[in-house]
Amino acid sequence: MAGGRRAWSDTAPLLNPQQHNHLVNLPSSVEMAASASVPRRSVFLGVDVGTGSARAGLFDGNGKLLGCASSPLQIWKEGDCVEQSSTDIWHSICAAVKSACSLANVSGEDVTGLGFAATCSLVAVDSEGSPVSVSWSNDSRRNVMVWMDHRAVKQAERINSCNSTVLQYCGGALSPEMQPPKLLWVKENLQESWSMVFRWMDLSDWLSYRATGDDTRSLCTAVCKWTYLGHAHMQQIKEKYSQDMEACGWDDDFWEEIGLGDLVDGHHAKIGRSVAFPGHALGSGLTPTSAKELGLVAGTPVASSLIDAHAGGVGVMESVPVSDSESEDFNEEAICHRMVLVCGTSTCHMAVCRSKLFIPGVWGPFWSAMVPEYWLTEGGQSATGALLDHIIENHVASPQLANRAASQGISLFQLLNKILESMMHDLGSPFLAALTSDIHVLPDFHGNRSPIADPKAKGIVCGLTLDTSDKQLALLYLATVQGIAYGTRHIVEHCNAHGHKIDTLLACGGLAKNAVFIQEHADIIGYPIILPRENEPVLLGAAILGAVAAKKYSNLNEAMKALNAAGQVIHPSEDPKVTKYHDAKYHIFRELYAQQLSHRSIMAQALA
């Protein structure tokens, strides 16, 4: 309603006829009818905590963005250690939510439901909910071990050597970015912190806990990052579909074997005694304290959460053109032919299937971790946006280019794309990609997450010269974009070789707004790429959770179909010369890693 006022019938208790005589100043029947005829508008709030900022977005009942805002986050980086503060994160969220509501002219009373998404970072709190340090510095503010923290490589290697059966649901090996290796590192290195921690939580679960006081964990986080076997109690889940469930998917033998048996105590109280589908309504909604901090209304439904990449998947998985979604052969299997690319600091590759597919080097299969009752396969590249930033910022021409971009009112990526376009015409290149025939990039600067699953992998740039011009930087940037796209092609081919039938890509995230990045991916992989109508699909995915928690839709699948919408479709080049060119560069891409392994072996023998 206008001004965010509720209809009288929405707030009045249910009364029996006798009670009416004791009430005064009741609205007339005409007023009541008029009020009831004007439904309260549905506005869904999504909150996304990324690596560098917390963002909030408000969406209407058609999934259209009404307004969004962001607030920066503090971060500490020291070598492989990357840390944040949950207190700082919460304050940033509150600022972003208030700003978004102001920009969208939405009052707190208008917000119908709230969902959180966040990076898969590890949060430590004590019995009072206060932060516990996970840092060598012993700074209690630094209680979040960020997803990209790689300090636990050795712990991951030891865990993987155990060959536990849970590992087959993680592509055969745990990544140091997952939570068990990080937990083991803390126990072995920060004993005082280990003894103080009352709850270990994924960041998105901590956010919903901070908002509601409900400690129920999401199947998304528990299954994808904690080795929780959601399918172990599939029947229990189906019987109690809309409720939280006792956490019986933990493999106690695994925790004992890796040296973390104390986490089994108290029915797994420190890591999660109950779990729920993403979108499950938690507790009694927002607590009065959290509601005041956020500028919202106490009791507003809050959903169990999603990891940020998975929220992106929920925000775009059904974003297909209407003609496709309404065709006669459309069925529930159509979703299984799609892969979502969530392209930000890193890139996650999300695909679902009705059957469980075990794919070496690719995370999963995870049951109901994103779309209920579908098995999720999750590939990934640990550094994509972060890699492009690194390549550009460490080039001598970068400051000058940044100034030029600012003076023209465009992004640095847009300026580099313009330079490449000019170079193509000036040099008579047959197509843009051909500019990099002499420069090749293996993008594993932060290890290889998929499909090789080698955290020790290193990046390679082949074809450097003494040229320090802006044109040389543009070529290096383009070759890096191509290297990232070849990595995605490797993941897609690997998944299809192990049972998937992916033939369509849906891309979202910051890099998906880069025209060259998307066109190179389409040309290199050979599949069309659909962009969503809304520019903030991770926020939309989080907001969809809130819509489900508010009971506006019966389940997540129904909400996705109602609120997702397609935008532009990018088709691969039909020029056979482009295909031949990329096939050749892809061959070199694969060779670069093989050469790295050979070099690694030679040096290991020399040092033996």
Angle (nearest 5°) at CA 520 between 514 and 526: 130
Cα separation, 471 vs 423, whole angstroms: 8
Burial 486-508 (b: 16+ CB within 10 A, else e): bbbbbbbebbeeeebebebbbbb
Is residue 365 within 8 Å of residue 169, measured between CB atoms? Answer: yes
Q: What is the dihedral of CA 125, 128, 130, 134, to 10 degrees?
A: -30
pLDDT at 596 over 50: yes
- HEC states along 306-351? EEHHHHHHHHHCCCCCHHHHCCCCCCCCHHHHEEEEEECCCEEEEE
Taking only the tens place, the pLDDT of each residue in 205-253 is: 999 999 999 999 999 999 999 999 988 766 565 555 444 566 689 999 9
Residue 40: predicted pLDDT:
63
Lowest mean pLDDT among 239-248, 277-286, 347-356, 467-476: 239-248
Residue 554: predicted pLDDT:
93
pLDDT at 45 over 70: yes
Q: How large is the average pLDDT for residues 421-433?
A: 98
The predicted model scores a pTM of 0.86
Residue 244: predicted pLDDT:
52
pLDDT at 452 over 60: yes
Is residue 371 within 8 Å of residue 391, measured between CB atoms? Answer: no
Beta bridge partners of 302: 114
Q: Which residue has the higher pLDDT, 20 or 80?
A: 80
Beta bridge partners of 339: 505
Nearest to 368 by CA among 424, 414, 306: 306
Residue 437: predicted pLDDT:
98
Lowest mean pLDDT among 7-16, 134-143, 599-608: 7-16
Angle (nearest 5°) at CA 160 between 78 and 231: 110
Taking only the tens place, the pLDDT of each residue in 544-575 is: 999 999 999 999 999 999 999 999 999 999 99
| Tokens describing residue 503 | 């033939």
Q: Which residue has the higher pLDDT, 1 or 189?
A: 189
Question: What is the full DSSP assignment across 434-463?
Answer: GGGTT-EEE--BTBB-SSS-BTT---EEE-
pLDDT band for position 331 (cuts 50, 70, 90): low
Q: Which amino acid is at 544?
A: I
Residue 242: predicted pLDDT:
46
Nearest to 56 by CA among 92, 80, 26, 83: 92
Residue 324: predicted pLDDT:
52
Cα separation, 250 vs 254, whole angstroms: 9
Cα separation, 390 vs 476, whole angstroms: 11
Sign of CA dihedral 305, 150, 78, 396: negative
Cα separation, 534 vs 540, whole angstroms: 8
Q: How large is the average pLDDT for residues 52-58?
A: 97
> Which residues neighbour 406 within 8 Å (Cβ) at sequence distance 6 or greater?
none
Residue 170: predicted pLDDT:
86
Residue 322: predicted pLDDT:
77
Task: Set out the domains of the chain in order of their start, with CATH numbers.
Answer: 43-294 (3.30.420.40), 385-490 (1.20.58.2240)
Residue 238: predicted pLDDT:
55
pLDDT at 74 over 60: yes
Residues in the chain: 608
Residue 332: predicted pLDDT:
75
Q: Which amino acid is at 117?
A: A
Angle (nearest 5°) at CA 58 between 57 and 61: 140
Q: How large is the average pLDDT for residues 310-321?
A: 95
pLDDT at 142 over 70: yes
pLDDT at 22 over 90: no
**Under DSSP, is residue 574 helix (H, G, I), strand (E, B) or coil?**
coil
Question: What is the full DSSP assignment across 406-438?
Answer: HHHTS-HHHHHHHHHHHHHHHHT-SSGGGGGTT
pLDDT band for position 333 (cuts 50, 70, 90): confident
pLDDT at 585 over 80: yes
> Which residues neighbour 13 within 8 Å (Cβ) at sequence distance 6 or greater?
none
Strand order in the sheet with 217-218: 217-218, 274-276, 245-246
Q: How far is CA 598 from CA 451, 456, 487, 591, 603, in A?
A: 19, 14, 20, 11, 9
pLDDT at 38 over 50: no
Strand positions, DSSP E, 176-218: 199-202, 217-218
Residue 239: predicted pLDDT:
57
pLDDT at 52 over 60: yes
Residue 172: predicted pLDDT:
87
Percent of the chain with pLDDT over 90: 86
Q: How large is the average pLDDT for residues 79-97?
A: 98
Percent of the chain with pLDDT over 70: 89
pLDDT at 31 over 90: no
Q: Half-sphere exposure of residue 294, counting CA atoms within 13 Å on the CB side?
A: 32
Taking only the tens place, the pLDDT of each residue in 484-493 is: 999 999 999 9
Q: Which residue has the higher pLDDT, 4 or 376?
A: 376
| Tokens describing residue 352 | 């679902």
pLDDT at 37 over 60: no
Q: How far is CA 321 from CA 316, 527, 532, 561, in A?
A: 11, 15, 10, 12
Lowest mean pLDDT among 34-38, 277-281, 474-478: 34-38
**Under DSSP, is residue 250 helix (H, G, I), strand (E, B) or coil?**
coil
pLDDT at 113 over 60: yes
pLDDT band for position 166 (cuts 50, 70, 90): very high
Q: Is 606 left (phi over 0), alpha (psi -120 to 50) or beta?
A: alpha
Taking only the tens place, the pLDDT of each residue in 459-502 is: 999 999 999 999 999 999 999 999 999 999 999 999 999 999 99
Is residue 500 within 8 Å of residue 357, measured between CB atoms? Answer: yes
Taking only the tens place, the pLDDT of each residue in 527-549 is: 999 999 999 999 999 999 999 99
Residue 203: predicted pLDDT:
98
pLDDT at 14 over 50: no
| Tokens describing residue 591 | 């060779």
pLDDT at 108 over 50: yes
Q: How large is the average pLDDT for residues 183-209?
A: 98
pLDDT band for position 115 (cuts 50, 70, 90): very high
For residue 93, the tally of other CB atoms under 10 A from its CB is 26
